[in-house]
Structure 1
């Protein structure tokens, strides 16, 4: 009971962290319940139509589940790392690793429950939207009502709470094992390197994404109903794999661009120092960037290839299916985009003390903003680079199967649009939040 009371008090005194965690869990629960509600609607249709609903709920819901779990783990991991000093002080006054773990997991589960309850209402409306689009595509009879019942509630509640608990427990397990001295040192200079489990998981998920691409190119003929589901998983799983490897990728890119950045002056030198010293923290902002770029590019081009491969006049059904696909892609892309902004804001707000200290030792506000801008440019470029590589696992195999060509006969405008959005969101969120943070007097920011 003491730990639960402490967790609730901690949430009240850390509203920024509460909001960041709540947003990720709320959006994730909304997506999960939207597509899980198709399983409730299945009770009102025949067996063949029910199979279509089950496949769609499983395929699209599976994509959403992977993205939700990774995004929640990234956000909660980032927020827990920001509390290394607090956790070290709790250990110094006698808190055990088990108590620290229960504190972190208790906070995460409490936020997840609130997020789930808040997500029920929007999920009802988005579930009806998807059912309406299925009717327009003639995949469902017009008379079938959209249902929102035990499957949506059960899956939404169970997975949201489970994702939060697993993400918090995974992070808490590592933080709780760190001693007081090591915890304070980590809080001041950053974590040295990512965990071995994360590296292994990243490699395995990346290999699975590549395998999905190979399977698409070698097994399918282009007319199978499951082609789009398997083909889309190539980009999404590859993006998730790269996202798990984000700290290592960011460290490698930082080493490559360190000399050019230092030549830009004081801001560049500060940016290099931060990118080296706070790799784990900044990599948290890289995760949603990779996910957004890889998922959006891969799935949008997949639909474009599908459109160009269609023979003859496009029917109303084909156009409705295209609309349905774009709505599905749009919902998941919107989730990744909001997570990108959410994570960057949470990361930058936490650095207000750092910005104050830099100004006290002589850095000017323009130099601090320049540092943040250069860091944002590195994050945006790295995210776009590896997100683009991840999208190849869908675009190339799908194009080979549907058109016989390695490169799709599609406009580059789609890709440029995704890149522009990713870069704009990254720079606007980081620099805009930093601009607000440095308005606070330096001495006050360091308290």
Structure 2
């Protein structure tokens, strides 16, 4: 075990950039669980007289439970995505370990130790951020009459311990998903696979899992659509959970879907920019797995944000038409949903930036080869600009499809019609946010990736 720990720590020291995205994702997971665990601890530690005070809204325990559930699910999604890129950066190293007689179990153990070490490294700052966020969130709830005034965040370390255990469990679950392929294939095939992508067997399993997730998401949306008018909160939770499951399906079925959308969007791009547009389109369609990895975080951002915004606006529209205020339209609960949306957007934004920076930086060798055959830095940056715009467009379309499906199911329960009320301005800001996150992340990392000495990179320097 000591040798495995030494090797894991050595990899983290050697490739800190490869573990940065995973560290940020685990930091957010620890902070989120500490936040909502502290709220639960505050409620349980309060005197009986304080707990018995009537408050507006669903109550502190329900709020903490609902937020914590969604946060853990999204954290798992984001950590799996971040760990996938961490392993991709180490693919050749892990493949070499397989060729010198490392067993699949030893490789998986090494990855688990890496995840555990990264989790421990970010635990203290995650605890601090979560504790401060809990104090702020509790004060905001008390200001709105949704928590008793006498409740205070206790000094017990239990929420911190729970958050550490939760982050470790999320990380280990992500390890089981992300490390499966490299640890199971034959050693020679593992070394060859470092540059050839997913094999057929992995593709079949991925398609089957994606089909299962798609079916599960459809069942959840059907459950949301069939809720009665007095169960709007349950309909909203089912629709939101359904959108998460559909986004998992998008992640699993992403390569073929992304390739089709890229082909459709690529036609006008090739016509408008025959040189860089053609090359950008060829890159996106030729590396469907890479394109899918890039568009999934964008789809997560747009899908979750769009679902929340459209559901809230639909409920508000119905309440105004009926002249009544329901639990989904009261100002305090609207604020709660905005806070939940902010949490989800934070996770999605981190995933988007991490993924795009890692993907672009990993292409440094490709960029140098293009420079060696006559491409200039300006041409490469123009190509990356086109790729960034097309990647954003594909991600927005996939995320919008999920949002419309989920919000349509909710609208069916609220109004009897599958056509929801869409807040155009708010959704426009979501799309603008996706563009702001995506294009600078690609171009910023691209500026660094296209620089440096071509001879060094071709000679073996990966950067």
Compute the displacement of 1:150 (Å): 5.3
Distance in 2, matches of 1:442 and 1:222, equals 65
Aligned to 2:260: 252
Distance in 1, matches of 2:142 and 2:53, equals 16
Q: TM-score, normalised by structure 2?
A: 0.87
Deviations 1:383-430 (A, max 9, x none): 111111111233223333334544344531111111121123112211
Aligned to 2:207: 199
Distance in 2, matches of 1:112 and 1:53, equals 28
Q: Which moves more between the two structures, 290-299 or 430-439?
A: 430-439
Aligned to 2:226: 218
User: 2:150 aligns to what SS in structure 1?
Assistant: coil
Aligned to 2:368: 356
Distance in 2, matches of 1:38 and 1:150, equals 13
The yes-or-no answer on 1:412 pairing with 2:424 is yes
Deviations 1:144-166 (A, max 9, x none): 22346455224311221111122
The yes-or-no answer on 1:238 pairing with 2:250 is no
Distance in 1, matches of 2:9 and 2:349, equals 29
Q: Which moves more between the two structures, 211-220 or 387-396?
A: 211-220
Deviations 1:166-192 (A, max 9, x none): 212332231022334323332234334
Distance in 2, matches of 1:246 and 1:136, equals 44
Aligned to 1:33: 34
Decide which of 292, 308, 318 is 1:299's aligned counterpart. Answer: 308
Aligned to 1:265: 274
Distance in 1, matches of 2:226 and 2:420, equals 17
User: 2:330 aligns to what SS in structure 1?
Assistant: helix
Aligned to 1:287: 296
The yes-or-no answer on 1:346 pairing with 2:321 is no
User: 1:310 aligns to what SS in structure 2?
Assistant: helix
Q: 1:381 to 1:129 in 2, by over 3 A?
A: same
Aligned to 1:103: 110
Count of matched residue pairs: 447
Cα pair 1:64 1:332 within 8 Å, conserved: yes
Cα pair 1:243 1:291 within 8 Å, conserved: no
Decide which of 391, 397, 420 is 2:403's aligned counterpart. Answer: 391
Aligned to 1:176: 183
Distance in 2, matches of 1:244 and 1:188, equals 20
Deviations 1:211-260 (A, max 9, x none): 23222221221455534323322323322321232233223334445655
User: 2:59 aligns to what SS in structure 1?
Assistant: helix
Cα pair 1:189 1:277 within 8 Å, conserved: no
Aligned to 2:377: 365
Cα pair 1:97 1:177 within 8 Å, conserved: yes
Aligned to 1:83: 90
Q: Which moves more between the two structures, 368-377 or 387-396?
A: 368-377
Compute the displacement of 1:437 (Å): 1.8
Compute the displacement of 1:276 (Å): 4.2
Aligned to 1:275: 284
User: 1:362 aligns to what SS in structure 2?
Assistant: coil
Deviations 1:313-334 (A, max 9, x none): 979x932332222122112112
Distance in 1, matches of 2:325 and 2:223, equals 28
Query: Following superposition of structure 1 onto structure 2, how do residues 288-327 of structure 1 map, counting pairs within 5 Å?
Result: 288-311=297-320, 318-327=330-339
Aligned-residue RMSD, C-alpha: 2.8
Distance in 2, matches of 1:322 and 1:148, equals 30
Distance in 2, matches of 1:208 and 1:148, equals 41
Compute the displacement of 1:14 (Å): 0.3
The yes-or-no answer on 1:432 pairing with 2:454 is no
Q: TM-score, normalised by structure 1?
A: 0.90
Cα pair 1:112 1:160 within 8 Å, conserved: yes
Distance in 2, matches of 1:95 and 1:204, equals 33
Distance in 2, matches of 1:197 and 1:148, equals 46
Query: Following superposition of structure 1 onto structure 2, how do residues 158-169 of structure 1 map, counting pairs within 5 Å?
Result: 158-169=165-176
Distance in 2, matches of 1:227 and 1:372, equals 41
Cα pair 1:293 1:387 within 8 Å, conserved: yes
Compute the displacement of 1:128 (Å): 2.2
